[in-house]
Amino acid sequence: MTTRGIAAIGVTAAVVASGLLAASDWAGAARTRPTSGAVSTSLRSSALALPAPATLSTLVNPPVAGEGVWSSAGRLVHGQSAVYTTTLRLPDNPAVSAGVAWMDTRLLRARLYSGSLSPGGVIWKYTAPISPGASRTLVAAFSGGFLLKSSQGGYLSEGHLVAPLRVGAASLVIYRNGLARVGQWGRDVGMSSSVVAVRQNLNLIVDNGRPASGLNPRDVSVWGASLNAIPNTPRSGLGQTSTGALVYVSGPMTVVDLASLLVRAGAVRAMVLDMNPLWPVFATYAPSPNGAPATPTNGRDLLATMLQSPARFFQPAYARDFITMSAL
C-alpha cells in the first residue's frame, strides 16, 4: 500500500471514530454516486467538455445588452472554454448587477488552499501565495467560506481534520482526481478514500433546485453576520448543476437574492461562501500565450466592484482559505 493510501485510510478512520459517521453509514457514503447527471468521481475526460451553458433568462425585464449572455473567461483548456461569466440585475434593485460564473468540471480540477487564519495553522502545503508551478495551469480562483467558528461545519484538507465534519452541513467536497461536488454531507456526499478535502459552511441554501425554505430578505444573521446589519451586503455562493458544472454567484444582495440567482444559474444544490465587502472575490486568469503563468496582471475580477483584486491569491499575507480551478 502506498503512503498516500495509508494517509487516506487514516483520515477516514478518524472521521468514523469521531462519531461523525457510523461505520455502516460510511460504507454507504463511500458507495455514493453522483446524482442528477453529475460527473463520476472515477471517470473524467479532459477531451470532452460539458455542453456550454445556455443563455440565462433575466430576473428584470427587459434585459440590458449582454445580460444573461455568457462570455468565455480565463485561459482555454485543451482549446476549449472552461469558464464562462455573465451578469444579472437584481429584481429588488435593478441598478445593481450580480456576477455569475460557470465552471466545467470535466476540464478543470479543484484544489482547496488553506490559510493561517482560516482554517488556522501553518502546516499547509497549499496556501497563499499560489506557487509558480501551479500558476501555469490556473484558470480561476475564488474565496472560501466563513471563519470556522461561524461556519457551523468542519474542515478537512491534506490529511488534517481541523474541525469535525457535521452530518447535514452544506459541503464542498474535492476528490483525488480534482473533481469538486457540492452537497449535503451524509446524503449527497460522504467520506471515502478518494476524498482529499471537505469545506463545510452552514446548510444548503439551494436543494433540489429550489431555495431553502424560510429565507428572509431582511436576514442579517441566520445566513451569516452582515456587516453593519445591512441585508444586501456583498455575498457569494457556490452551486452544482444537473450536469455537474459548478456555478458561482456574487454581488451586494440579500440572502433571498443569492438563492434565486443560484437557481437561475442552474444550481440543483448550492451553499453559501464568504460575505461582506472585504471577502468575496472570484478571479479568472488569461495569460498570453495560453500556456504562460497566471499573474495578477492577467487576472480579472468577476465584478469590477469587488474590493479584492486577482492579486489576492498571490499575496503571502493572505490568510484565508480559497479554491483554485486549474486545467487538467
Count CB atoms within 10 A of the CB of residue 137. 19
Q: What's residue 92's pLDDT?
A: 85
Q: What's residue 3's pLDDT?
A: 37
How far is it, in rounded angstroms, from Cα 201 to Cα 199? 7
Least confident of 7-11, 70-74, 115-119, 284-288: 7-11
Number of domains in the chain: 1
Question: Averaged over 143-170, what is the pLDDT?
Answer: 98
Least confident of 16-25, 71-80, 120-129, 181-190: 16-25
Q: At residue 149, does pLDDT exceed 60?
A: yes
- Which of the pair, 89 or 44, is modelled with greater confidence? 89
Q: How confident is the model at residue 47 (pLDDT cuts 50, 70, 90)?
A: low
Q: How confident is the model at residue 48 (pLDDT cuts 50, 70, 90)?
A: confident
Q: What's residue 44's pLDDT?
A: 54
How far is it, in rounded angstroms, from Cα 85 to Cα 249? 10
Beta strands in the chain (DSSP E): 71-73, 83-90, 93-103, 108-113, 138-143, 155-157, 160-163, 170-175, 180-184, 195-200, 206-207, 210-211, 234-241, 246-252, 267-272, 282-285, 299-301, 322-327
Look-up: residue for cell 482549446? Answer: 79
Q: What's residue 26's pLDDT?
A: 29
- Which of the pair, 328 or 25, is modelled with greater confidence? 328
Range of the domain at 59: 1-328
Concatenated DSSP letters of 166-195? PTT-EEEEEETTS-EEEEEBTTTB---TTE
Least confident of 17-26, 168-177, 205-214, 307-316: 17-26
Whole-model pTM: value is: 0.87
Span 169-210, pLDDT tens digits: 999 999 999 999 999 999 999 999 999 999 999 999 999 999
